[in-house]
Structures are given as structure tokens and as C-alpha cells.
A = this chain, B = another copy of it.
Amino acid sequence: MRKLLNDPADLVKESLAGLAAAHGDLLRYDAAAQFVARVDAPRQGKVALISGGGSGHEPMHGGFVGLGMLDAACPGEVFTSPVPDQMLAATKAVDGGAGVVHIVKNYTGDVMNFKMAAEDAADEGITVESVLIDDDVAVQDSLYTAGRRGVGATVLAEKLAGASAERGDDVATVAGIARRVDDQARSFGIALSSCTPPAAGKPIFDLPEGEMEIGIGIHGEPGRRRAPLGTLNEIAELLVDAVVSDLKPDSGTKVLPFVNGMGGTPQIELYALYGEVDRLLRARGLEPIRRLIGSYITSLEMAGASLTLLALDDELTELWDAPVHTPALRWGA
């Protein structure tokens, strides 16, 4: 392994401790209950937003805790769901009396554990609304998922629902914003390499150089097919085709393309990819008016990229522009 690592069993905890040491103005790390929360949570009367899932996708989710985004994040071990006790502890820690929204990526373990936590929280009198994110158009069912997987739209939902909560919306409205993002977003990704989970010490799948996995999941789940590695322009076409043909936006729709790196693809390539994606979207009559480019939902050091396309409306655009101050996303603050 080519990794900066002590004992692999300590990596997640060490990384969260480092995150808190770096961004103590924004968040604190509860090492006993294993969650990260905003330093100013709970805020009385504000809906709290929580997400979580396996680690290895950083900056998601811990890097999105802060003003205008998440109130807490519950990280599991690498590529492993957090347990219900984490979500319950986080829910109780950040509830300000106005209810809590759980943003849950559609993986069987995450869904089950967030459901148990929501039920336990309800028993303690906390209102919880759960929103399922399932934006990956690659496959219907997958290794860890019934239905579509939740990927890049999660980042956008956390930003937009976070802005909704920050402006004082009630719990149904905040959850509604997250659901609207999931409804109006589609994602598709490709991998050029595997990644190596630290505890396993070996790649999770075998992908020879010169091939790509089309429709890859963020834990290396198989996609639609394997094919010879295409050119950047061919890959851009493939990504745009996959999301546009499924989302079917009207001509003239204002969109937010999110070109995401899987972790091991350098920025010089991501921006070249964005340039071609932007051109292809415009050629199809769509209008990119906002965008996000970078490695925000990753698979450790996997090489590859995904495209998430979100159809915007005036309200989502306004929520996108609202201030955010987290370790990984920051503007207007």
C-alpha cells in the first residue's frame, strides 16, 4: 500500500481528530460517540441536518459540517455503515427542538441503521425526517443496494437543504428541498483504477491499465460494463448521455453540473473534463449557471470521475448561493 498510515484500525479516528484540530472553529469531534458536530449545535429553533455513511469518501461527510450545511456527520469505518447508536447520539446532540433531517445515501446498511436511529429518536420525542438519496443511473440494483445508489447528489442535497435549514425553514420544508434535489439530479461515474481500503491492504477489484469500469459505484461496485479506456471527450459524452437521457430536462433548463474526482484523478484532468461537459450540455440546449468541480465524494485514491447534473430552479439557485462555511465548501462567509 502507498498510504500514510499507522494502524489501519485507527485511521478513521485519527483523521476525524485531525479534522477537529484543524477546524475547531467550525466543528468538534465526539470520539466516544463517534460523530462530528457543529460547535454551535444545538441551535434552538433551527432544523438540524445530519448525514453519515462509510468513511473513505472524504471530504464527504465530515468536511461538510458547518454553517449552512450539516449539523453533524456520522462516519463508519472505511466503506462500512455507521451504527445506529452513532446516528442516535448525533441526533440528540444537535436537535434544537425544531426537528432533524437525516440525509441517507441508498445503501442497505445505511438505510437500515438510519431507520433504527430515527425510530429511537422518535421514541425520545425528536421529530426526524429521513431523505433517501438515489441518484446514480448506472444500475438498478447493486452489490450493497436495492434500487439506485446514492452518490454525487448527496453533496448537493447537503448544501441546499443546509441552506434551507439555515434560513429558518421548518423540518418538512428542509426535507422537501433535499428530496427535490434527489428528484432533479442524476449521476454517473467511471473508474480508471481501483482503490485499496487500508484494512484490506489490497485493491477491491482488478482493473487492468487501458480499461475503464463504466457506471462504477463509490465502493467499487460493478457498473454497466467494462470497456477499453476512451478519450476524455468520449468519456464526457458518455457521462452527459447517461445523466441527460435519464433526467430528460427540457431544452433551456438551467443546470448545475458537478464534475467530481474519485480521489486519484488530478485537477488538471477534472477541469479539462469540465470544459467538454460544459460544451456538450450547451449543445443540448441546457444552460450551466452554477457548477462544482473537485474531489468531493471520493473512493480513497481511486482514479476516475463522475458527473452529477442538477436541474435548477430559482429557489435552488438562491440556496446554492447562500453562505456556507465548512472545511470543504466555503463561500460568502
Binding site for B on A (CB under 8 A): 1-6, 11-12, 14-19, 21-22, 55-56, 58-59, 63, 78, 192-193, 209, 229, 231-233, 235, 263-276, 278-279, 291, 293, 295, 298, 300-301, 303, 305, 325, 327, 330-333
Contacts and interface: CB of A to CB of B under 8 A. Distances in A.
A300 B4 contact: no
A275 B5 CA distance: 12
A303 B58 CA distance: 16
A298 B232 contact: no
| Across the A-B interface, the 8 shortest Cβ-Cβ residue pairs | A18-B275, A18-B271, A2-B192, A58-B267, A14-B272, A4-B269, A15-B272, A18-B274
A104 to B, nearest CB: 21
Contacts of A266: 56, 58, 263-264, 298, 300-301
A194 B325 CA distance: 34
A5 B269 contact: yes
A15 B301 contact: no
A215 B63 CA distance: 29
A275 B21 contact: yes
A271 B4 contact: no
Contacts of A270: 4, 18
B301 A4 contact: no
Contacts of A273: 4, 18
Given A22-B293, A267-B298, A331-B333, A232 B275 contact: no
B268 A15 contact: yes
